[in-house]
């Protein structure tokens, strides 16, 4: 990878440490910037510290399970794309994950090339959503700048900024 290119920041959460180590190593070799967590609490802490582009979550874990973690991450990080990767796949859990905002749902054992394709698509979707959001915000700022006093503009910008926090 060219040093000028930004690596895709990836959070992988799975309670199977051997699996976690293997998938993290394989994706690291594909130039992903990988952070791992073996439990939901650890993943939430990691997400608070760093901005991730995509997360891969196991469904069944002790403590905070994959569905609950999906809810937490999507609520706090609106542009984060999440892929569920589970050995306990079912139609019900796939539907629930999709309703909660998961971008993808894959079953273990997984096909590495398929996972790479889903990761690429998830990242493209993240960029698209963020671009559309930024474009909308810029249009709002442009409208403000044309019709408000300087103090009115500052107050409106403060309000827009607070919405992002």
Percent of the chain whose predicted confidence (pLDDT) is above 70: 85
pLDDT at site 3: 41
Give 106's strand partners: 85
The tens digit of pLDDT for each residue in 78-106 reads 899 999 999 999 999 999 999 999 999 99
| Residue 92: Cβ-neighbour burial (10 angstroms; 0-12, 13-18, 19+) | exposed
The tens digit of pLDDT for each residue in 104-145 reads 999 999 999 999 999 999 999 999 998 887 787 777 777 766
CA distance 87 to 110: 9
pLDDT at site 160: 64
Cis peptide before 30 (omega within 30 of 0): no
CA distance 51 to 156: 26
């Amino acid at each position: 990878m060219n040093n000028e290119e930004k690596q895709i920041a990836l959070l992988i959460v799975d309670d199977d440490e051997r699996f976690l180590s293997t998938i993290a190593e394989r994706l690291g070799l594909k130039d992903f910037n990988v952070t791992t967590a073996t439990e939901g609490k650890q993943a939430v802490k990691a997400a608070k510290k760093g901005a991730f582009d995509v997360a891969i979550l196991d469904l069944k874990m002790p403590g905070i399970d994959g569905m609950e973690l999906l809810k937490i991450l999507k609520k706090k990080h609106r542009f984060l794309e999440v892929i569920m990767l589970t050995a306990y796949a079912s139609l019900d859990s796939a539907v629930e994950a999709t309703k909660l905002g998961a971008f993808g749902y894959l079953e273990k054992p997984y096909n590495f090339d398929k996972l790479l394709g889903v990761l690429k698509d998830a990242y493209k979707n993240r960029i698209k959503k963020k671009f559309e959001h930024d474009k909308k915000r810029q249009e709002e700022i442009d409208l403000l700048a044309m019709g408000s006093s300087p103090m009115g503009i500052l107050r409106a910008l403060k309000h827009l900024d607070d919405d992002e926090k």
